[in-house]
Amino acid sequence: MKKIYFFCVALATATVMRAQTTIAQWNFNDGTTNPVIGSGTANVLGVTGAPSFVSGTPASGKAWRTSGFPAQGVGSGTAGFGFAVSTQGYTGISVSVDITGTNTGSRYFQMQYTINGSTWNNVGSVITIQSTSVSGWTSVNNTIPADANNDADFAVRLVSVFSPGNNTEYKAIGASSTYNSGGAMRVDNVSITGTPVSLAISDVKKLRPNFIKETFIKSDDISFRTSVKDVKIFNMNGQLVKKGSVNVNETLNISELPKGNYIVTGTISYKLVSQKILKD
């Protein structure tokens, strides 16, 4: 009875903890494009200048800088900064970033996202950069549409765009300046957040154990007694970390998961089942 009570409490706790979580974050303070939280890749797009790390926000930290944007009148929406992060196991994706540039850089940028790596969609309003001072960074925070939820190929980018007023040419940040492709831009404090997918408390009554042969996993494979559809593995924070489907006597490899306790759920004959495992 105590075991059943503990199991229900664990599931309830996992559900309550469903709050916005940082999936990946970059602050560039170490002078690299490695995220300081999570995993992902960062790239400059469509520029000819060599990226570098300069003063950020706050000024004691660093930012990621590049130049060599398209010439006047061409290439709107093709050059800037890109970040690719898997959102698998998360919903309600949001992206925030700080951006600034030199006087001759493009005043207008657009945030775009993709769920397949090839088709890009605008999200949020056109970004207007009106200051080049150290304290004059422009902060952007956009909620991404739901099609980016639980997506392994999610990526976001900030690209320079033509002035919304004429949509034919770039406008410089500086009020008395003229746009120049050599104008430099910099970004800092890039954060991608989401809400972890977790088990619902209402599912507890539907759970049935013993569809897994061995719950103490000494190897990297889970062996199943029967065919199980829509297999999902949750960590003890309620976060979805693995999914798949298996047939009778098949195994599911979990070599990428660290040691610890997990809850495995699935569907057998249209009924939800669940079992707790310990990976050693």
pLDDT in tens, the chain (280 residues): 434 434 443 444 444 345 688 999 999 999 999 999 988 999 999 999 999 999 999 989 999 999 999 999 999 999 999 999 988 878 999 999 999 999 999 999 999 999 999 999 999 999 999 877 666 899 999 999 999 998 889 999 999 999 998 999 999 999 999 999 999 999 999 999 999 876 554 444 444 558 898 899 988 999 998 888 888 898 888 888 898 888 888 899 999 999 999 989 887 876 778 888 999 8
Pick from 238, 247, 232, 197: nearest CA to 92: 197
**Does the structural domain 2-15+198-279 have CATH classification 2.60.40.3080?**
yes
Pick from 76, 87, 80, 77: nearest CA to 144: 87
Quote the DSSP letter at residue 148.
G
**Does the structural domain 19-196 have CATH classification 3.40.640.10?**
no
Q: What residues contact 143, with CB distance under 8 A and at least 6 apart?
A: 92, 93, 94, 123
* Domain 2-15+198-279 and domain 19-196 have a common topology: no
Peptide bond into 58 cis (omega under 30): yes
Tally of CB atoms within 10 A around 195: 17
Residue spans of the domains in the chain: they are: 2-15+198-279, 19-196
